[in-house]
Chains A and B, each alone.
Chain A
Amino acid sequence: MRQAWKAFSCASILVIGVAGCSGSEPDVSEAQSGDGQDTIELAEFPDRPYWGDTHLHTDNSVDAFGFGTRLGPEAALRFARGEEVTATTGGQTKLARPLDFLVIADHSDGLGATRRLYDAPRWYVKWIIGDETVLRWYDMMHESPEQSTRAIAELITAAAEGNIPEAFADPETANEGTKDIWNTQLSILDRYNEPGVFSAIAGYEWTAMPDGNNLHRVVMFRDGSDRTRQTVPFPGIGTAAPQLWEYMRGYEEETGGRVLAIPHNSNLSNGLMFQTTMEDGSPMTAEYAALRAWAEPVIEATQIKGDSETHPYLSPNDEMAGFGVEGWEIGNLSLSQKTAPSMFAGSYARSGLLRGLTLEKQLGVNPYAFGMIGSTDSHTSLATGDEDNFWGKHTGNEQAYTERAAAEQNLGTREGRFGWHYLAGGYAAAWARGNTRAEIFDAFARREVYATTGPRMSVRVFGGFDFTAKDWDGDWVRAGYTRGVPMGGMLDDQGAAPSFMISALKDPDGANLDRVQVIKGWIDASGEPQERVYDVVWSDMDARRKSGGKLTAVGDTVNREDATYTNSIGAAELRTTWTDPDYKSGQQAFYYVRVLEIPTPRWILFDAVRFGVTLSEDAMADAVAQERAYTSPIWLKPSS
């Protein structure tokens, strides 16, 4: 009897893994399963930033499951909507404030494969799959959480080196498994999608990494499940970005839907994310540039695995550059190759935007006219972005592992990255007219989005040619939309310096603001890319005068003993109208806004206080930081 019961329960597990529930249609309303158009009343203009995470992994991701996560999409959605969830390693957790939208972005390669592998009986792995490496990983996964993490690290290295066992890459099995999990996931998303309250958006991660260089993209859909059921996630192993874009174009043609791709971790691409050439090294064509610009309107500039805005090497005059760079700058994702300084320009957003201007001059099309968002890339099913509620990059460093800040966190087996290098993760803010799948997606498509490293500050930017301080007295939002363009927009040069209305409100439940900066990039008369950071408004403007072109520091109220800070410095709101003092007629340029908070404790300081652990000297030096927001740029184009 015992044997029979065991056989039956294993059979159930296998069948659910293999057959899923592909037959059943979800019992949800049309409003929930659609794209949300015409389901709610929309504001005339985008009325507030909607907060979300477009990059969350659940136990359907090969690596997340291997790292130990046992929470699936359902738990992920409940958590994002503000409900309490028990983390895999124990401990009740909840977001202080719910999110407005979520994209579950599980790896398309081997979707659900490790979960199926883990649940399969050993004889099946040994005799049916029959691959020694897979069997060894299977055993490691069952041995202990530590061994399981090691097995997945090996798997990632193998993927980076193109050595994935055929059993994992087998297209037929993978396709069937992928389709079942995808369809199940779409049903779950529909159940939690609620126009006006929460948008559960379909997506996945396309995980290409030639030689361990990170070229990953999150693919995000606008549509309801009637359309998204017609596709399956596109594999990253063995494909290149132009093929992904073709797949996306095919999806739109076949279904009439909309889809976009969001590159992330360019900081781990060893210069390959924003190349001046095409993938094969040949000169970029206008066609390629146009396809890329169409497919990738937004990049993820900040997340747990570091920040990709810029590097101090590229921006030596920017004393605020270098946030979230340490540890990540030494090599590519798998650390199979070190990063040389010459590679940085292709790895960071600001230099990518500059390369876009140069390429536009040559080709007539800017392939890198992208906006910016932040996200988590959490592999725990928990979309946590706050420093005081960090649940780890993956289940191997959830809060149960109190020494996680000091632990080595190399994906491969090589050295150089530690737990404290992880950021707590970022969030995406989308200026939309309401909270539906369609409205949120459209904000991304027109780049009216911005990145934060976690805090929810409200940042609004309008560019035009006649904005003055007087505009603040009236309906300045209407003025912004009717006489100018919002972040993400393009301005045609009218022979006069552009002016900008910039408003930054602190996170209502967070830290005060230090300063607001405009970052300008342009091509000078000799064709060279240039960049400059302008401090345009800051707290205590009279007291903090500039000396030698630099603003005096805002101060630091962080108590290292108990991980607290006070809002006795900084400002609740900073706003200004700013006109470019260095405008030259005919100049190609972009302008984006960076908002800095006052210094606050990082997650490692909260860990040190809560768990009584002592941080290393290096970690302690990085235990306090100024969190920030990056807006999408506004471009100034020479009039044709």
Chain B
Amino acid sequence: MKLPNWTREPLVHFVALGAVVYVALTWGGSPPDPASRVISVGASETEKIAESWTLTMGRAPTDAELDQAVDAYIREEVLYREALRLGLDESDAIVRRRMVSKMDLSASLAAETAEPTEEMLRAFLEENSELYANHGTERAKVSFDQTFFATERAARAALTRGSDTGEATSLPANIEAIPLREVESRFGRQFALGLGALEPGADWQGPLQSGFGWHLVRLRDRVVQPPDFETLRGVLANDWRSAQIKARKERAYEVLRSAYRIDVDR
């Protein structure tokens, strides 16, 4: 059987399922009062339980199924009220943590699938320009020659002599236009930081320390592309999304918090 296209629309799923769940969850009536020791399952409650069953299962429950559902409802209600009475919802750190994370989760879900428009991203870049100020430097492409020495003394001596002959190594002698983060991956963090601080020129400089030893370096070229919108677009969209999730959590919290008066003795 081929279903019409509209049945595949997420919006239709959303409305239909939302309706089902809304009905299912509202049959319980008003929230339980933990102080009350009365649980009433009258004709109207039973009817709601049966309705909900019928709606979701596509058939009416048998008497036995209905009895079971009512029993389950009562059992849950009794234990839930007792738990509230004992203050488990407040005193149990695990319950508290679970509830908090569930609230956070529901606030962030919509943002995970949202698609930002170009205007939104441009605005985001403008607001957060300082975050991307270094983007160009991090991705700056460097070209350099390096020669290796096991000790700092040997490297300095070679520099003084004006010699560029180092010791044998499997490290590449000439590097052509690779991003600084690749330099870090091959030579280690310390070397990449050192290289970032040098100015390009025709002379041998250093020595710079790496994870392997010491290097004289001839930094031939460093190309820094100023960050522009198009190259940043993907990064911006991802950062925007994660900022949205964070903001939604905060906004949801602010709305809830504004209903409280909070006194803190400091």
Take A12-B106, A27-B115, A32-B234 as given contacts and tell me if A122 and B22 are in contact as well, using a CB distance cutoff of 8 Å: no
Whole-angstrom distance between the Cβ of B141 and the nearest chain A Cβ: 11
Measured CA separation A24–B116 after assembly (Å): 12
Measured CA separation A369–B211 after assembly (Å): 35
Take A14-B17, A24-B113, A575-B170 as given contacts and tell me if A126 and B8 are in contact as well, using a CB distance cutoff of 8 Å: no
Contact indicator B94/A145 (Cβ below 8 Å) = yes
Residues of B within 8 A of A128 (CB): 56-57
Whole-angstrom distance between the Cβ of B248 and the nearest chain A Cβ: 12
Measured CA separation A13–B108 after assembly (Å): 10
Whole-angstrom distance between the Cβ of A27 and the nearest chain B Cβ: 5
Partner of B211, one of A48, A121, A142, A510: A510
Take A70-B105, A127-B53 as given contacts and tell me if A7 and B25 are in contact as well, using a CB distance cutoff of 8 Å: yes
Measured CA separation A20–B110 after assembly (Å): 11
Does A10 have its Cβ within 8 Å of any Cβ on chain B? yes
Contact indicator A72/B188 (Cβ below 8 Å) = no
Contact indicator B10/A505 (Cβ below 8 Å) = no
Contact indicator A12/B109 (Cβ below 8 Å) = yes
Measured CA separation A16–B107 after assembly (Å): 13
- Residues in A478-527 with C-beta less than 8 Å from chain B: 503, 505-510
Contact indicator A191/B211 (Cβ below 8 Å) = no
Partner of B22, one of A8, A32, A100, A127: A8
Interface string of A245-289 (1 = CB under 8 A from B): 000000000000000000000000000000000000000000000
Residues of A within 8 A of B237 (CB): 27-28, 191
Does A29 have its Cβ within 8 Å of any Cβ on chain B? yes
Residues of A within 8 A of B150 (CB): 572
Does B72 have its Cβ within 8 Å of any Cβ on chain A? yes
Residues of A within 8 A of B69 (CB): 127
Whole-angstrom distance between the Cβ of A287 and the nearest chain B Cβ: 39
Partner of A122, one of B8, B9, B17, B76: B76
Partner of B21, one of A2, A14, A47, A97: A14
Residues of A within 8 A of B14 (CB): 11, 15, 19
Residue of B nearest to A507 (CB): B211
Residues of A within 8 A of B45 (CB): none
Residues of B within 8 A of A572 (CB): 150, 211-213
- Residues in B172-214 with C-beta less than 8 Å from chain A: 172, 179, 181-182, 184-189, 191, 210-213
Does A541 have its Cβ within 8 Å of any Cβ on chain B? no
Does B165 have its Cβ within 8 Å of any Cβ on chain A? no
Does B98 have its Cβ within 8 Å of any Cβ on chain A? yes
Measured CA separation A447–B203 after assembly (Å): 41
Take A15-B17, A127-B69, A194-B234 as given contacts and tell me if A21 and B101 are in contact as well, using a CB distance cutoff of 8 Å: no
Contact indicator B25/A506 (Cβ below 8 Å) = no
- Residues in A103-122 with C-beta less than 8 Å from chain B: 121-122
- Residues in B75-108 with C-beta less than 8 Å from chain A: 76, 94, 98, 101, 105-106
Does A74 have its Cβ within 8 Å of any Cβ on chain B? yes
Contact indicator B112/A72 (Cβ below 8 Å) = yes
Take A27-B115, A127-B56, A573-B212 as given contacts and tell me if A509 and B188 are in contact as well, using a CB distance cutoff of 8 Å: yes
Take A7-B25, A192-B238 as given contacts and tell me if A13 and B106 are in contact as well, using a CB distance cutoff of 8 Å: yes
Residues of B within 8 A of A194 (CB): 234
Measured CA separation A509–B210 after assembly (Å): 8
Contact indicator B26/A18 (Cβ below 8 Å) = no
Does B31 have its Cβ within 8 Å of any Cβ on chain A? yes
Does A431 have its Cβ within 8 Å of any Cβ on chain B? no
Residues of B within 8 A of A72 (CB): 112
Residues of B within 8 A of A10 (CB): 21, 25
Measured CA separation A126–B56 after assembly (Å): 12
- Residues in B212-266 with C-beta less than 8 Å from chain A: 212-213, 233-234, 237-238, 241-242
Does B122 have its Cβ within 8 Å of any Cβ on chain A? no
Residues of B within 8 A of A70 (CB): 101, 105
Residues of B within 8 A of A32 (CB): 234
Whole-angstrom distance between the Cβ of B153 and the nearest chain A Cβ: 16
Residues of A within 8 A of B211 (CB): 506-510, 572
Contact indicator A573/B191 (Cβ below 8 Å) = no
Does A468 have its Cβ within 8 Å of any Cβ on chain B? no
Does A4 have its Cβ within 8 Å of any Cβ on chain B? yes
Residues of B within 8 A of A98 (CB): 181
Residues of B within 8 A of A472 (CB): 168
Measured CA separation A106–B256 after assembly (Å): 35
Contact indicator B18/A19 (Cβ below 8 Å) = no
Does A150 have its Cβ within 8 Å of any Cβ on chain B? no
Residue of B nearest to A123 (CB): B24
Measured CA separation A145–B92 after assembly (Å): 12
Measured CA separation A191–B26 after assembly (Å): 39
Measured CA separation A429–B21 after assembly (Å): 49
Measured CA separation A29–B230 after assembly (Å): 11
Interface string of B3-28 (1 = CB under 8 A from A): 00000111001100110011011101
Contact indicator A23/B8 (Cβ below 8 Å) = yes
Does A547 have its Cβ within 8 Å of any Cβ on chain B? no
Contact indicator A9/B188 (Cβ below 8 Å) = no
Residue of A nearest to B19 (CB): A11
Does A144 have its Cβ within 8 Å of any Cβ on chain B? yes
Residue of A nearest to B76 (CB): A122
Contact indicator B186/A191 (Cβ below 8 Å) = no
Residue of B nearest to A22 (CB): B10
Whole-angstrom distance between the Cβ of A460 and the nearest chain B Cβ: 7
Contact indicator B17/A18 (Cβ below 8 Å) = yes
Contact indicator A12/B184 (Cβ below 8 Å) = no
Residues of B within 8 A of A510 (CB): 211
Residues of B within 8 A of A191 (CB): 234, 237-238
Whole-angstrom distance between the Cβ of A502 and the nearest chain B Cβ: 10
Whole-angstrom distance between the Cβ of A142 and the nearest chain B Cβ: 7
Partner of B10, one of A14, A23, A27, A573: A23
Residue of B nearest to A50 (CB): B185
Does B30 have its Cβ within 8 Å of any Cβ on chain A? yes
Contact indicator A508/B186 (Cβ below 8 Å) = yes
Whole-angstrom distance between the Cβ of B16 and the nearest chain A Cβ: 9
Partner of A21, one of B10, B17, B18, B242: B10
Take A23-B9, A508-B186, A510-B211 as given contacts and tell me if A11 and B21 are in contact as well, using a CB distance cutoff of 8 Å: yes
Residues of B within 8 A of A12 (CB): 18, 106, 109-110
Contact indicator A48/B186 (Cβ below 8 Å) = yes
Measured CA separation A4–B112 after assembly (Å): 24
Whole-angstrom distance between the Cβ of B52 and the nearest chain A Cβ: 7
- Residue of A11, A23, A126, A456 with most chain B CB atoms under a 10 A cut-off: A11
Does A351 have its Cβ within 8 Å of any Cβ on chain B? no
Whole-angstrom distance between the Cβ of B221 and the nearest chain A Cβ: 16
Interface string of B111-137 (1 = CB under 8 A from A): 011011000000000000000000000
Measured CA separation A127–B241 after assembly (Å): 37
Residue of B nearest to A456 (CB): B185
Take A8-B18, A123-B24 as given contacts and tell me if A19 and B72 are in contact as well, using a CB distance cutoff of 8 Å: no
Interface string of A289-325 (1 = CB under 8 A from B): 0000000000000000000000000000000000000
Residue of A nearest to B69 (CB): A127
Whole-angstrom distance between the Cβ of A28 and the nearest chain B Cβ: 7
Contact indicator A508/B109 (Cβ below 8 Å) = no
Does A78 have its Cβ within 8 Å of any Cβ on chain B? yes
Sample 6 A-B pairs with CB under 8 A, ordered by A number. Answer: A11-B21, A27-B116, A48-B182, A124-B24, A503-B170, A572-B150
**Nearest 6 CB-CB pairings of A with B:** A508-B188, A508-B211, A11-B18, A19-B13, A7-B25, A11-B21
Q: B interface vs A, CB < 8 Å? A: 8-10, 13-14, 17-18, 21-22, 24-26, 28, 30-31, 52-53, 56-57, 69, 72, 76, 94, 98, 101, 105-106, 109-110, 112-113, 115-116, 150, 168-172, 179, 181-182, 184-189, 191, 210-213, 233-234, 237-238, 241-242
- Given contacts A11-B14, A22-B10, list 11 more A-B pairs with CB under 8 A: A8-B22, A21-B10, A22-B8, A48-B182, A70-B105, A74-B238, A100-B185, A144-B94, A456-B185, A476-B170, A508-B186
